[in-house]
Amino acid sequence: MAEVPVGRRVAYWRGRRNLSQQLFADRLGKSKSWVDKVERGVRRLDRFSVLHEIAGVLRIDVQLLLPEGQQPQPVGPTSLVMPAEVEAVQLALERYELHGLCPAPDPPPLDVVRKSVRHAWAAFQHGRYPVVVRAVPKLLRDVQAAEVAYRVPAERVAETAHLHGQAYLVASALVRKLGQHRLAWIAADRAMTIAERAGDILLTGLVAGYAGQALIGVGRARSAVELATLAATALAPGGAAYPEHLSVYGHLLLQAAIAAATIGDSTTVRDLLGAAGEAAQDLVDDHNHYWTAFGPTNLALHRAAAAVQLGDGDQAIRIHQRDVDPDLLATLPAERRANHQLTLARAYAQAGDAGQAGDALLLGDQLAQAEIRCRPIAHTVMTDVLRATRGTPPPPVATLAEQMGVGS
């Protein structure tokens, strides 16, 4: 069968297993038409995840579906973040370092740890989640060992705790993007404890914001509002405040607003966004202090996101058209810009404009591929776009859907 096409191989093994096209399609969760097109070679079959699913149903090794020496070309989610990589992060987050009972491993030099934490944050904000997911397990081991080893002088103690807290924070941000909300909460909870050891109220405030995001993910949006609002109140500037302070304060208000929108509390959303607007005016420009990217532009993005959470896609679109300056938007990290395109895709889908929603997903994919292909919410939006599209979707949208592993 060396020269037999993939579709013919599927048909051969389906026959060997005495499966009709309909029964085979049912077990795959596909349509009979999809199976027929695959077997006739009308539809390409080159996604690694789908080949594995087919091989699993047929109870054969995946290589039996391919010509000798040929390897499937992994595109879509499996080529970005593999399940084994997420599991490695989970194991790292669930591991306890009992240095009081066991000897601590030798830590890397502190400047190496410092660079690793900066690199992880930068990769995350560029939307390079595959890079971050592969770095997190080692990063957590390194910062844990560093905090145990570098206990003098006092300044070094504070810095190692600060780096330790940041490492757990970026881990929380990452796994939340991947839809692993329980893990996001575990990481944020660890980061909160460590941040208090660092003695930095801004780091503690930053952690509270990310913990609020994790709480939303596990269905505790009211608790998220309470946590972020409490932290923002504690950090409220009494007078002139330096940019880092305003950035974390504003970040907390934005997270509280999104949480309030999740439970449909439009009055609280308005009040929180208003307070964030005052902080953004004092800050003037969008800066990335404490990795927040807080400022007037990011505020407008969160106004649109809150409108979408409240179910008002038309309002979100108006905010984008009226308040988001394209030139200023271009200065924000790629993750923020791609996330905004995902917000717009949701808004257009709510407004019944599948074409514009698909275009927004395409643009988001160009800005930060992983933000669209790795996030469950993006998969949901793409499913909505395909269902709302009359006839065949435009080729670029159809291709992206296939790469995301989203069927029509």
The pLDDT tens digits for 208-232 are 999 999 999 999 999 999 999 999 9
What pLDDT, on a 0 to 100 scale, did the predictor assign at position 74? Answer: 40
Residue 3 has pLDDT above 80, yes or no: no
The position carrying tokens 């660079």 is 115
Residue 184 has pLDDT above 70, yes or no: yes
Q: What is the mean pLDDT of residues 82-107?
A: 76
- Residues 108-124 have pLDDT tens digits of 899 999 999 999 999 99
Residue 77 has pLDDT above 80, yes or no: no
What pLDDT, on a 0 to 100 scale, did the predictor assign at position 68? Answer: 53
The position carrying tokens 């074409």 is 355
Low-confidence winner among 42-56, 69-83, 290-304 (lowest mean pLDDT): 69-83
What pLDDT, on a 0 to 100 scale, did the predictor assign at position 150? Answer: 80
Supply the mean pLDDT for the chain.
Answer: 88
Q: How far apart are CA 47 and CA 58, in angstroms?
A: 17
Q: How far is CA 121 from the centre of its chain?
A: 13
What pLDDT, on a 0 to 100 scale, did the predictor assign at position 102? Answer: 55
Low-confidence winner among 57-61, 84-88, 356-360 (lowest mean pLDDT): 57-61
What pLDDT, on a 0 to 100 scale, did the predictor assign at position 16? Answer: 85
Eight-class DSSP state of 289: G
Q: How far apart are CA 377 and CA 375, in angstroms?
A: 5
Phi, psi of 353 (to 5 degrees): -110, 85
Low-confidence winner among 340-344, 375-379, 394-398, 404-408 (lowest mean pLDDT): 404-408
CB within 8 A of 177, min separation 6: which ones? 129, 370, 371, 374, 375
Distances (CA, A) of 114 to 101, 145, 319: 27, 13, 39
CA angle, corner 12, sides to 8 and 17, nearest 5?
Answer: 145
Q: How far apart are CA 49 and CA 37, in angstroms?
A: 18
- Residues 242-253 have pLDDT tens digits of 999 999 999 999
What pLDDT, on a 0 to 100 scale, did the predictor assign at position 54? Answer: 83
The position carrying tokens 């990795």 is 291
- Give the torsion through C-alpha atoms of 183, 185, 191, 194, to 10 deg: -100
Residue 196, burial from CB neighbour count under 10 angstroms (0-12, 13-18, 19+): middle
Q: What CATH number should be reported for the domain whose range is 200-332? A: 1.25.40
Query: Higher model confidence: residue 92 or residue 84?
Result: 92
What pLDDT, on a 0 to 100 scale, did the predictor assign at position 29? Answer: 73
Q: How far apart are CA 248 and CA 202, in angstroms?
A: 6
CB 260 within 8 A of CB 247: no
Residue whose C-alpha is closest to residue 261's, from 197, 324, 196, 315:
315
Residue count of the chain, please give it.
Answer: 408
Residue 383 CB neighbour total at 10 angstroms: 16
Give the number of C-alpha atoms closer than 13 A to the C-alpha of residue 105, restricted to the C-beta side.
11
Phi, psi of 202 (to 5 degrees): -70, -40
pTM of the full structure? 0.79
Q: How far apart are CA 313 and CA 305, in angstroms?
A: 9
What pLDDT, on a 0 to 100 scale, did the predictor assign at position 244? Answer: 94
Residue 101 has pLDDT above 80, yes or no: no
- Residues 319-328 have pLDDT tens digits of 999 999 999 9
| Local confidence band at 52 (pLDDT 50, 70, 90 cut-offs) | low
What pLDDT, on a 0 to 100 scale, did the predictor assign at position 75? Answer: 37
**Coil, helix or strand for 381?**
helix
Tokens describing residue 181 = 């909300």
Residue 272 has pLDDT above 80, yes or no: yes
Per cent of the chain over pLDDT 90 is: 64
| Local confidence band at 49 (pLDDT 50, 70, 90 cut-offs) | low
Q: Where are the beta strands (DSSP E) in 231-310?
A: none
| Local confidence band at 103 (pLDDT 50, 70, 90 cut-offs) | low
Topology match between the domains 6-65 and 200-332: no
For the chain, the structural domain boundaries read 6-65, 80-197, 200-332, 341-408
Low-confidence winner among 14-28, 171-185, 266-280 (lowest mean pLDDT): 14-28
Q: What is the mean pLDDT of residues 8-25?
A: 88
Helix axes 266-283, 221-235, angle to 10 degrees: 30
What pLDDT, on a 0 to 100 scale, did the predictor assign at position 23? Answer: 87
Q: How far is CA 351 from the centre of its chain?
A: 24
Fold held by 6-65: 434 Repressor (Amino-terminal Domain) (1.10.260)
Low-confidence winner among 27-31, 69-73, 89-93, 364-368 (lowest mean pLDDT): 69-73
What pLDDT, on a 0 to 100 scale, did the predictor assign at position 1? Answer: 41
| Local confidence band at 98 (pLDDT 50, 70, 90 cut-offs) | low
